Chains A and B, each alone.
Chain A
């Protein structure tokens, strides 16, 4: 027994000594002293050098999107390093095109901050923050869709562009052993800075949607982060065609609110598709928008209305409704939000009617 303990303690102490050497080494050798990170020629951060750029920025609450968590395997965390990044590492080359290398684009998880460094990141990344919020209202929109209202607590206000999405942290609960983040489009007015509306459709066996529907109650705290995404209204005057299904409604509510705030006169036709009458929602809100906006028309389309119902609106698929309404879309812009199947079908119809491919904007749920 004694022998056993001695053996274990000797081996452990050898391991401990080696670990200590490494810790000391990390402390004194990998200390590059203070470095200055200049972001977009404007903001300056004074930090201790020695860590990867991605980590440095995250510690400063600037979140560069990364899927692998900094291991250099996803290639998502790209940013432009103008000076001070050193040469491109062999671990980065598989993820960068020749043009990107010429434009000094780097993987921020592989670039170590060793000296003063000058970087360029998209302006909207500054805006991404983590919000503590309280769920204040849950409203039933259809049998499987609900609108959740979150009042922001800390920080108390958000700045977003209509069309962007938030990530919602779904905590561990009975039935799910891990924390997961899920993205939902924002459905509230961008001028209402203190709250966020999300429209969530129940996914059978979905981890996060099940939590939202069965466990989340009014008054509960919820963590959100964002805003993300570049789905938004273009800055032209071209007439627009919106196509959505299910919770794809959300970004358009936000975009229409934005248009109402700016008294926009742009022409919009909004095709909203549902399988049955039960899938339609927010008819009153849409009616209000039709009254407030000069050139807006909401066109609900139902694939198969319940028998015996008195449905006076369009019947069929949304794509068919689009085809019946338009003969030429070459001057229009298309906005799509919904399931990948619906988006692909609608995009094909747009292109068939002459819409240029770069005028089709979409937000695909995956």
Chain B
């Protein structure tokens, strides 16, 4: 395989791993706040999930470029926290304005969730992991997309479970966030079962 081909293959593996074995929500427990609060209905969960996929893919990519071409040449790597946050916030704001202007329908389904996830730690976390794990550019794209998809998968599963929970008898003290966290733990165990698939 030539260089680019193996890069793309590696990116796909990274993407797959980010969805299942290293699911950002269930193995590192990032992004728990919207996960517990917006997972009551499958429809809203899907909207938020789609917004996370979109924002994660683009911000990790942008942050990779900013890190590689701005921070490393200037030897300011230690500033990545601040820079990443500024870029994420500006990007989300920018995308919200554009969607709002050109596609009211998309805005209705996706746009209104964007401000909710600007300050989501999963978004910043993915960018920081991308630096720690020293991903290449193409791998970063794969990772961002995979991490987003993994998060979406987890919140969709949770929303599905919670709609069914509505009809089951949960002990009073566990209703709401309590039972949600227990289910998240069980889901995490299941996802960790994927570890080793990509040995």
Chain A interface residues toward B at CB < 8 A = 7, 10-11, 14-15, 18-19, 21-22, 25-26, 29-30, 32, 86-87, 89-91, 112, 114
Chain B residues with CB under 8 A of A11: 76, 79, 82-83
| 8 new A-B contacts at CB < 8 Å, known A86-B104, A90-B108, A112-B100 | A10-B76, A11-B79, A11-B83, A14-B83, A22-B97, A30-B101, A32-B101, A91-B112
Instruction: Check B97–A25 contact: CB distance below 8 A.
Output: yes
Q: How far is the CB of A141 from chain B (nearest CB, A)?
A: 52
Instruction: Check A10–B90 contact: CB distance below 8 A.
Output: no
Instruction: Check B97–A26 contact: CB distance below 8 A.
Output: yes
Q: How far is the CB of A248 from chain B (nearest CB, A)?
A: 44
Instruction: Check A22–B93 contact: CB distance below 8 A.
Output: yes
The residue from A10, A87, A114 contacting B108, defined by CB atoms under 8 A apart = A87
Closest to A110 in B: B112
Q: How far is the CB of A68 from chain B (nearest CB, A)?
A: 16
Q: Does B183 contact A (CB under 8 A)?
A: no
Chain B residues with CB under 8 A of A86: 104, 108
- 29 A-B pairs with CB atoms under 8 Å apart are A7-B76, A7-B79, A10-B74, A10-B76, A11-B79, A11-B82, A11-B83, A14-B86, A15-B86, A18-B86, A18-B90, A21-B90, A21-B94, A22-B93, A22-B94, A22-B97, A25-B94, A29-B97, A29-B98, A30-B100, A30-B101, A32-B101, A86-B104, A86-B108, A87-B108, A89-B108, A89-B112, A90-B108, A90-B112
Chain B residues with CB under 8 A of A32: 101
Most chain A Cβ neighbours within 10 Å, of B44, B87, B93: B93
User: 8 Å CB contacts to A: which residues of B95-135?
Assistant: 97-98, 100-101, 104, 108, 112
Interface string of B142-174 (1 = CB under 8 A from A): 000000000000000000000000000000000
Interface string of B61-105 (1 = CB under 8 A from A): 000000000100010100100110011001001100110110010
Chain B interface size, as a band, is 10 to 19
Chain B residues with CB under 8 A of A10: 74, 76
Chain A residues with CB under 8 A of B98: 25, 29
The residue from B79, B97, B104, B112 contacting A114, defined by CB atoms under 8 A apart = B104
Chain B residues with CB under 8 A of A7: 76, 79
Chain B residues with CB under 8 A of A15: 86
Query: In the docked arrangement, what's the CA distance between A32 and B82, Å?
Result: 33
Closest to A26 in B: B97
Query: In the docked arrangement, what's the CA distance between A15 and B86, Å?
Result: 7
Chain B residues with CB under 8 A of A112: 100
Chain B residues with CB under 8 A of A114: 104
Q: How far is the CB of A20 from chain B (nearest CB, A)?
A: 10
Query: In the docked arrangement, what's the CA distance between A86 and B82, Å?
Result: 38
Closest to B70 in A: A14
Closest 10 CB pairs of A and B: A18-B90, A29-B101, A30-B97, A29-B97, A25-B97, A15-B86, A25-B94, A22-B93, A86-B104, A11-B79
Q: How far is the CB of B169 from chain A (nearest CB, A)?
A: 27
Q: How far is the CB of B75 from chain A (nearest CB, A)?
A: 9
Chain A residues with CB under 8 A of B44: 90
Q: How far is the CB of A330 from chain B (nearest CB, A)?
A: 46
Instruction: Check B100–A22 contact: CB distance below 8 A.
Output: no
Closest to B104 in A: A86
Query: In the docked arrangement, what's the CA distance between A32 and B104, Å?
Result: 13
Chain B residues with CB under 8 A of A21: 90, 94
Query: In the docked arrangement, what's the CA distance between A22 and B90, Å?
Result: 7
Query: In the docked arrangement, what's the CA distance between A21 and B95, Å?
Result: 12
Chain A residues with CB under 8 A of B100: 30, 112
Query: In the docked arrangement, what's the CA distance between A87 and B108, Å?
Result: 8
Query: In the docked arrangement, what's the CA distance between A14 and B84, Å?
Result: 11
Q: How far is the CB of A357 from chain B (nearest CB, A)?
A: 36
Closest to B41 in A: A90
Query: In the docked arrangement, what's the CA distance between A87 and B87, Å?
Result: 31
Chain B residues with CB under 8 A of A87: 108
Most chain B Cβ neighbours within 10 Å, of A14, A32, A86, A112: A14
Closest to A30 in B: B97
Query: In the docked arrangement, what's the CA distance between A116 and B52, Å?
Result: 33
Q: How far is the CB of B84 from chain A (nearest CB, A)?
A: 11
Closest to A87 in B: B108
Q: How far is the CB of A210 from chain B (nearest CB, A)?
A: 41
Query: In the docked arrangement, what's the CA distance between A18 and B98, Å?
Result: 15
Chain A residues with CB under 8 A of B86: 14-15, 18
Closest to A19 in B: B90
Instruction: Check B87–A18 contact: CB distance below 8 A.
Output: yes
Chain A residues with CB under 8 A of B76: 7, 10-11
Q: How far is the CB of A11 from chain B (nearest CB, A)?
A: 6
Q: How far is the CB of A106 from chain B (nearest CB, A)?
A: 14
Closest to A32 in B: B101
Q: How far is the CB of B137 from chain A (nearest CB, A)?
A: 20
Query: In the docked arrangement, what's the CA distance between A32 and B100, Å?
Result: 11
Q: How far is the CB of B39 from chain A (nearest CB, A)?
A: 15
Chain A residues with CB under 8 A of B90: 18-19, 21-22
Query: In the docked arrangement, what's the CA distance between A11 and B108, Å?
Result: 35
